[in-house]
A and B are shown apart, each in its own frame.
Chain A
Amino acid sequence: MATDSSHIPELTPARSASSTLSAETVAIDASLRTPLTVLIGSALVWLLVASVLGLISAWKLHTPAFMDSCEYVTYGRIQPAQSNAFIFGWGFNAAFAVSLWLMARLSRGSLPGSAVLLIGTVFWNVGVTLGVGGIIAGFSTSIEGLELPGFATPLLLVAYALIAAWAVVVFRAGRSYQIYASQWYIFAALFWFPWLYAVAQVMLVFSPVRGTVQSVVQTWFASNLFLLWFASIALAAVYYFLPKLLVKSVSNYYLASLSFWWLAIFGSWAGIARLIGGPIPAWVQTFGAAASFMLVVPLVILGMNFFGTLSGSWSALKDNVTLRFIAFGITAFSLVLIGWVLNAVHGIAAITQFTYVTAAETQLGLYGFFSMVVFGSLYYIVPRVLNTAWASAPLVGVHFAASAVGVIVVVGSLLVGGINQGLQLADAHVAFAEITKASQSYLFAATIGLAILAIGQLAFALNFFWTLGRASADCVRSAKTLLSAQPEAAR
């Protein structure tokens, strides 16, 4: 199993020697070593925690008697605990790691000291632990996407500021005069998230607004958390890795800025279409639907950018694991956007609303797109930051195969099961108990898909900590030199 992977180029830190740029990237990567190790390590721990919680909650859906004597593991608590551990534990830690590294590399700036960043990371993870523990203990706010109790969220915002500020610091410290597409997305995402989150916290948790304005705010937050935060970070990674690994420029790059602004200006209205048919003003639903239809424009542009760049280079996918993950991710994102457009059609929304189709979309967006792109990015970033090759190449293969198959099984079964459920729900002659009975086999298939995903996650975590172990001797040494040398520079 411990095959040395040094013969696979992108899994090793090998750089084109003898260039000044190369010396610079070594310094940048070294400056990020400690904080990125901590961020990625915490992300992986949360990923596994979320996986365990996800398997429990999935099992409870088709076998309600499973562990039903204890209120701490009731479905209504385990399911939000899972989604929050996944989003705030895995998603954010990983997004921080990827965006800091991309920002540093693209701006050509090193991180001047990592103490504050590390404190921020610790705060963040303490906040998520408090919050997820709070949900299980019964302090959930019961607001979808914002279940973390009010005693944890202010800490998250403080921690966020301590972490995100460093992306701006490396940008300012950098020597690059170009601002590349990846940087627009990272900049924007880092600025948008605290705005979205602070508004949602104040208007929903700390000083709740009246009536269903709450639902408008909640939907505005939840949909934009995906589009303006997770999707932005992942798109930044795609814009970086695709041309870099294929050694060619992004095709139709001049259109990239149009899709960026389009997503920001109109995309941020689109998610509200989820409330179609709900007790909110009709004009809000109509605007949401219109904005959703307009997502066709960025869909086409991103397709031209990404698939246009990939076309003619498909063979590169065979021997480059980062590209394979990213190609899977952009395919998933295209499907997510198509889903948003379709779900804005009244006739379709009437069927898919409130069914497992929404769960399928969430999985496709957060796992099929965001997580897959992040996995791919980490396969490139980790060996460079740790300055050592991945410990095992077979484990990388296991991770990709399990993730791809797992996503397809989970999303496929929830989608088909959800459409079936929606059609039956819309037919009043089908008794409710029959609908739940008909969903059983689909839910069971989804549980199997989640188990396959978990195998891939285990392979990835094992490989990362193994690689970290091999690099640790070097790492401890360089961390010591960093800590002794950096405080002066940081002041």
Chain B
Amino acid sequence: MNRAPTLFLGVFFALAFSFVGLVLTNQLTYGAFTTHVDEDEGKAFPQALPGIAAQGKLVYQDLGCISCHTQQVRRPGFGADTGEGSRGWGERQSVARDYLREERVLLGSQRIGPDLRNLAARKNADGAEFTADWLYRYLYDPALVVKDSNQPRYAFLFKTQQIVGQPSAKALKLSGDHAPAAGYEIVPTARGEALVAYLLSLKDTYAYPETKNVYTPPAPKKAGEKKEGHE
């Protein structure tokens, strides 16, 4: 190894090997994946995000939500993401095609908070479906809706404004110490609304041909045993 050109060539081919093997091969094979056209429904899946949800995704990115939340449901038996006796974070495992339309894929690598991939199809802490109102209150102050949540408050996504005419339909329903002064209301800012729209768009429920092999129905509910993962 005393000749610089040999060394250089070796160094070049070493990384070229993994670049071609991992990056290029994947890009050329499943990087060319296409959407699945469902003739019955007349739609191509996965569907594009509605405009406001796409804006909300940018808020999700700029606030760094990925630091604590993953967006991937692992297969049944691998962790407790989905399948029988799991946290029920997804109706099925995530597959590559789910992420096809995403300009930025936010798989994440930390579960300091719960997975959010299939949030909108799950039940919240009260056992009901997630609604915009519930998420607004959760973001404003998690303690309002979930006991012992470790999520910080995102009160900066809301503003206090004077009620002019009719109160806003989006105004938070707050009572006690949290309630704003009389004649005022607390409403989400545009960013807050977009973020919640994005969170409510997170739903991987469509069964692709490739998920049918691995699709596992949610665990049958047994009385007293069901303890759903929540925020």
Partners in one complex: yes
Which chain B residues in 1-52 approach chain A with CB under 8 Å? Answer: 1-4, 7-8, 10-12, 14-15, 17-19, 21-23, 26-27, 29-33
Min distance, Cβ A306 to any Cβ of chain B, angstroms: 19
- B111: chain A residues at CB < 8 Å are 354-355, 425
List the B residue with the shortest CB-CB distance to A190.
Answer: B11
| A187, B9: Cα distance in complex, Å | 11
Contact, CB under 8 Å: B65 / A281: no
Which chain B residues in 46-95 approach chain A with CB under 8 Å? Answer: 60-68, 70, 72, 74-75, 78-80, 85-88, 93-95
Contact, CB under 8 Å: B7 / A278: no
Contact for B19 among A199, A257, A358, A433, CB less than 8 A? A199
Within 8 Å of chain B (Cβ to Cβ): is A115? no
A187-B7, A203-B23 known; 13 new pairs, CB 8 Å cut-off, are: A68-B153, A69-B155, A76-B67, A77-B64, A141-B104, A208-B103, A210-B33, A211-B33, A268-B14, A277-B75, A425-B111, A431-B230, A434-B148
Within 8 Å of chain A (Cβ to Cβ): is B146? yes
| A430, B108: Cα distance in complex, Å | 22
List the A residue with the shortest CB-CB distance to B16.
Answer: A195
| A224, B14: Cα distance in complex, Å | 12
Which chain A residues in 10-68 approach chain B with CB under 8 Å? Answer: 60-61, 64-65, 68
Contact, CB under 8 Å: A141 / B61: yes
Q: Which 7 A-B pairs have the closest CB atoms?
A: A76-B64, A264-B14, A142-B61, A268-B18, A436-B150, A433-B148, A138-B62
- A61: chain B residues at CB < 8 Å are 112
List the A residue with the shortest CB-CB distance to B149.
Answer: A433
| A425, B114: Cα distance in complex, Å | 9
- A434: chain B residues at CB < 8 Å are 148
Contact, CB under 8 Å: A140 / B64: yes
Contact, CB under 8 Å: A431 / B227: yes
Within 8 Å of chain A (Cβ to Cβ): is B121? no
List the A residue with the shortest CB-CB distance to B99.
Answer: A211
Contact, CB under 8 Å: A179 / B105: no
List the A residue with the shortest CB-CB distance to B60.
Answer: A142
Contact with A along B116-160 (1 / 0, CB 8 A): 000000000000000000000000000000111111111110000
Within 8 Å of chain B (Cβ to Cβ): is A79? yes
Contacts known (A142-B61, A431-B230); A426 close to B23, Cβ less than 8 A: no
Within 8 Å of chain A (Cβ to Cβ): is B100? yes
Which chain A residues in 416-445 approach chain B with CB under 8 Å? Answer: 425-429, 431-434, 436-437
Contact for A191 among B11, B33, B104, CB less than 8 A? B11
- A75: chain B residues at CB < 8 Å are 64, 67-68, 152
| A284, B31: Cα distance in complex, Å | 13
| A269, B61: Cα distance in complex, Å | 28
- B75: chain A residues at CB < 8 Å are 277
Contact for B80 among A141, A257, A427, CB less than 8 A? A427
Identify the interface centre among A60, A76, A179, A427: most chain B CB within 10 Å of its CB: A76
| A45, B155: Cα distance in complex, Å | 33
Which chain A residues in 179-231 approach chain B with CB under 8 Å? Answer: 179, 184, 187-188, 191-192, 195-196, 199, 203, 208-217, 220, 224, 228
- B66: chain A residues at CB < 8 Å are 76, 142, 144
Within 8 Å of chain A (Cβ to Cβ): is B180? no
| A70, B80: Cα distance in complex, Å | 35
Contact, CB under 8 Å: A212 / B86: no
Contact, CB under 8 Å: B21 / A142: no
Contact for A187 among B8, B114, B146, CB less than 8 A? B8
Contact for A277 among B68, B78, B102, B105, CB less than 8 A? B78
Contact for A437 among B21, B95, B99, B148, CB less than 8 A? B148
- B110: chain A residues at CB < 8 Å are 354-355, 358-359
Within 8 Å of chain B (Cβ to Cβ): is A481? no
Contact, CB under 8 Å: A354 / B109: yes
Contact, CB under 8 Å: B80 / A228: no
Min distance, Cβ B114 to any Cβ of chain A, angstroms: 5
Within 8 Å of chain A (Cβ to Cβ): is B96? yes
- B147: chain A residues at CB < 8 Å are 433
Contacts known (A75-B68, A279-B72); A261 close to B104, Cβ less than 8 A: no
Within 8 Å of chain A (Cβ to Cβ): is B203? no
Min distance, Cβ A408 to any Cβ of chain B, angstroms: 23
